[in-house]
Chains A and B, each alone.
Chain A
Amino acid sequence: MAHDIHDPLKHPEVQIANGWGYVASYVLSALLMAGVLVVVVYPSFVAMASFALPAAAALAVLIQIVLLFQLGFSKTHAWTTISFLLIVPLFVIAVGLTIWMFNSLDARTMMAGLMH
């Protein structure tokens, strides 16, 4: 891999910085979070919440991953992207299976009146 080992500033990970990407990420994330705020605070939108919240969060995270972390399959970031892609299912498994397990437990062991 051809790179100037004497000047750290020429390293691809430094040179890949993209100011406009950072600005775009900022604006989009702020807007998405404002959207979430609107959905939960104003009663007419509340019905959308169960769909809108996870969707907005996922989208915001994706935008930050792509624009802030600049993950992708370039030679510079191949390994960071691959390792990130391997972690996501583990995160989902840990949280998701836990929720399922405890929902099932509660349904079987909690008195009906206490459930909600």
Chain B
Amino acid sequence: MVHVQGPWSPLLGRLSMGAIPDNPIITGAFIFAAIFGVLALAYVTYARKWVYLWREWLTTVDHKKIGVMYILIGLVMLFRGFIDALMMRTQQLLGDGLHSAGYLGATHGYLVPYHFDQVYSAHGTIMILFAATPILVGIMNIIVPLQIGARDMAFPYLNALGLWLTTVGAALIMLSLFLGDFSHAGWIGLTPLTELAYSPGVGTDYWMWSIQIASVGTTLGAANLIATIIKMRAPGMTWSRLPIFTWTALSTNIIALTSFPVLAVALGLLGADRYFGTHFFTAGMGGNLMLYSNLFWIWGHPEVYFVILPAFGMMSEIIPTFSEKALFGYITMVAASFAIAGVSWAVWLHHFFTMGAGPDVNTFFSIATMMVGIPTGVKVFNWAFTIYRGRSRFDTPMMWALGALFMLLLGGLTGMMLAMPPINYSVHNSVFVVAHFHTMLMVVVYGILGAVSYWFPKVFGFKLNERLGKRFFWYFTAGTVLVFIPMYASGFMGMTRRLDYLSNPHLFPFEVAEELGIGLYLVSVYYFVAQLFVSVRDRNKYPVGADAWGTGRTLEWITPSPVPFYNFAVTPRTHARDELVWRREQGLEHVSVKHYEDILMPKNTAVPLIIGALTLALGFGLVWRIWWLTDLSFAAIIVTVILRSFVKDTDYTVGGKEVAGIEKGLQARMKGAQASGLPSGGVGGLRPQESNS
């Protein structure tokens, strides 16, 4: 074991009173979090919901509930990441030049560089891995089994485990705010900055373990989704009838399955350096710094395609529904998804063109990177041709999908620019790069927000308020434009990234614009919260039927809204692509099941939660180097897994009569429910291109 700076005791490791920060900003955050936490706990106790919480949510293996919890975690972390962004914008605004004023002990602005570095490191780590990824995984979790006619994922227990592991990762990052600090080395963790010599504190360890633990969850989830899609499709659901979102879920999880292990290696070897004193990436003793960048980006590039492909899938579901037209070029869309997944595996060096691999190597990776533009372009044209001559409606989900399309154009074109080493060398480490990847990530965010508003009625049985939703969309878009378009310009003019002050005061107007943009984002957050509040308050006024939007096309829209725990009373048989459209055309939309049969469902179990709790102890012990805690929790995890494997009775049967009763109740609740303004089922006048038998 390596000798670390600072106090260490066998009982508490590196933990000591000095770990508690005495910073007013953090104290404020702690008070806020504590009040919120106490209120939440008090409410649950007052409403006597502990048993309900335990039985229905904490021990569930139901993919829909797990998905909802994933999304909730993602939204909480998204909020924290947004606060980080707000802090960064404000710091750079206040720190306008070398001689700007300093507050709270800082030379420029109000954050000392060491803290500013932690803010952007946390922002990046949280937004990509703990906001976007969990929300995407959550949506895929809820929707994919419904789209293929399955009752649950292939491995429900593993699914729950993945959720809790992700939660542990998020918990560690939140803990780092109040005990110790976070990494100051960016979300990438470049070496040798993250080596013990240059990051002697616990911050880098927090960053490393939170990602490592959450990544295990994501890898397991990837195997789960792939096996589900291959093996759990309902009869008649052939590959050529698979909904496009499920296709993108498949390609994206192939990326995840193959690339996350390499991240595990990158972080694992860094961990070896930090814990065992090895020399993988040290400056000296035979280490190779660039090896870290290499391993990290072998994961890192496929990762960004992992987040964007589901967003593409969401757009491909929303656009046809709100154009009342089948997706144009289904086969090329599927082929393009896999082409993107495949090529994305061979482009990673474009993240470090400037590290000196040479013109030959750079050229190869540059060309490969540009090639990704071809299948992406195919997708853009297919979406455009889907809308063309369709019957367009501009409900909120459609607005988000169209916004994503424009973000893709902007981000994609600047990506092509960055793919060229000569340009790359010029804008490397400037905020031009930051603007590019934020624009691309906006495609993901827009896709997510569109998908949430699109599928919300299916999961919860009522729609989100349209008026407030549109306001949320417009303020969010205005904020995006005002923050990132000036950033392209200031990046071109030399504004350095990750800098806690504005080195070139001439660029001050851009900073002002960006701060206004963040202000607009704040307004949009108000509308987001207002929308949720109003929608929940009015939920009994506007219930929806199975086909919430009236023009749904795929299998999930034949289930009741909200979906019962068993999904389908009887497994549906598929006859065409866009099965619901086919049934509508045959006049079979409202044919109900006559004969209900027994259903086998997996039992709830507390084991994933227990393993999660033990993993939190393990992660905490590793960060603070409390060896007795790590050894004990690790052993306990192994024992728990082995003991669980001896349990024989993990399923239970729901009788046919009970299913029939539940179905009757749901049908009665949905009776009279109208999709707002539209006929409750069936589209007047059939058009030949609607179905794809």
A114 → chain B closest CB, angstroms: 12
B293 → chain A closest CB, angstroms: 10
Selecting from B11-19, B354-362, B650-658, the interface stretch reads: B354-362
Report Cα–Cα, A34/B291, bound state, in Å.
33
B346 pairs with A97, CB closer than 8 A: yes
Residues 50-88 of A at the B interface (beta carbon under 8 Å):
79, 86-87
From A87, A90, A108, B356 is in contact (CB under 8 Å) with A108
Report Cα–Cα, A97/B346, bound state, in Å.
8
B254 pairs with A86, CB closer than 8 A: yes
Known contacts: A90-B345, A93-B346, A105-B290. The answer to whether A100 contacts B361 by CB under 8 A is yes
Report Cα–Cα, A93/B298, bound state, in Å.
10
Q: Which residues of A contact B262 (CB under 8 A)?
A: 94
Assess whether B230 is interfacial by the CB under 8 Å rule: yes
Residue of B nearest to A104 (CB): B358
B254 pairs with A104, CB closer than 8 A: no
B356 pairs with A93, CB closer than 8 A: no
A4 → chain B closest CB, angstroms: 17
Main secondary structure, interface of B, reads helix
Q: Which residues of A contact B358 (CB under 8 A)?
A: 104-105, 107-108
From B230, B254, B349, A101 is in contact (CB under 8 Å) with B349
Residue of B nearest to A100 (CB): B361
Q: Which residues of A contact B258 (CB under 8 A)?
A: 87, 90
Q: Which residues of A contact B254 (CB under 8 A)?
A: 86
Instruction: Give the size category of A's interface with B.
Output: 10 to 19
Chain B contributes a number of interface residues (CB within 8 A of A) equal to: 18
Report Cα–Cα, A101/B356, bound state, in Å.
9
Residue of B nearest to A78 (CB): B230
Assess whether B294 is interfacial by the CB under 8 Å rule: yes
Assess whether A18 is interfacial by the CB under 8 Å rule: no
Assess whether A44 is interfacial by the CB under 8 Å rule: no
Q: Which residues of A contact B294 (CB under 8 A)?
A: 98, 101-102
Residue of A nearest to B338 (CB): A86
Residues 333-353 of B at the A interface (beta carbon under 8 Å):
345-346, 349
Report Cα–Cα, A94/B260, bound state, in Å.
13
Chain A 99-116 interface mask (CB, 8 Å, partner B; 1/0): 011101101110000000
Residues 11-56 of A at the B interface (beta carbon under 8 Å):
none
Report Cα–Cα, A98/B288, bound state, in Å.
13
B550 → chain A closest CB, angstroms: 38
Q: Which residues of B contact A101 (CB under 8 A)?
A: 294, 349, 357, 361
A94 pairs with B230, CB closer than 8 A: no
Report Cα–Cα, A5/B508, bound state, in Å.
71
Residue of B nearest to A108 (CB): B358
Q: Which residues of A contact B291 (CB under 8 A)?
A: 102
B361 pairs with A93, CB closer than 8 A: no
Q: Which residues of B contact A90 (CB under 8 A)?
A: 258, 345
Report Cα–Cα, A108/B258, bound state, in Å.
31
B356 pairs with A105, CB closer than 8 A: yes
Residue of A nearest to B295 (CB): A98
Q: Which residues of A contact B355 (CB under 8 A)?
A: 105
From A79, A100, A105, B230 is in contact (CB under 8 Å) with A79
From B290, B298, B360, A94 is in contact (CB under 8 Å) with B298
Q: Which residues of B contact A100 (CB under 8 A)?
A: 361
Q: Which residues of B contact A102 (CB under 8 A)?
A: 288, 290-291, 294, 357
Report Cα–Cα, A97/B358, bound state, in Å.
13
A93 pairs with B357, CB closer than 8 A: no
Report Cα–Cα, A98/B349, bound state, in Å.
10
Known contacts: A79-B230, A87-B258, A94-B262. The answer to whether A104 contacts B345 by CB under 8 A is no
Known A102-B291, A109-B356; further 6 A-B contacts with Cβ < 8 A: A86-B254, A94-B262, A100-B361, A101-B294, A101-B357, A105-B356
* B residues in contact (CB < 8 Å) with A: 230, 254, 258, 262, 288, 290-291, 294, 298, 345-346, 349, 355-358, 360-361
Q: Considering the complex of A and B, which 7 residue pairs feature the smallest CB-CB distances, nearest first?
A: A104-B358, A101-B357, A104-B361, A105-B357, A101-B361, A104-B357, A108-B358
A-B residue pairs in contact (CB < 8 Å), sample of 8:
A79-B230, A87-B258, A90-B345, A93-B345, A93-B346, A104-B357, A108-B358, A109-B356
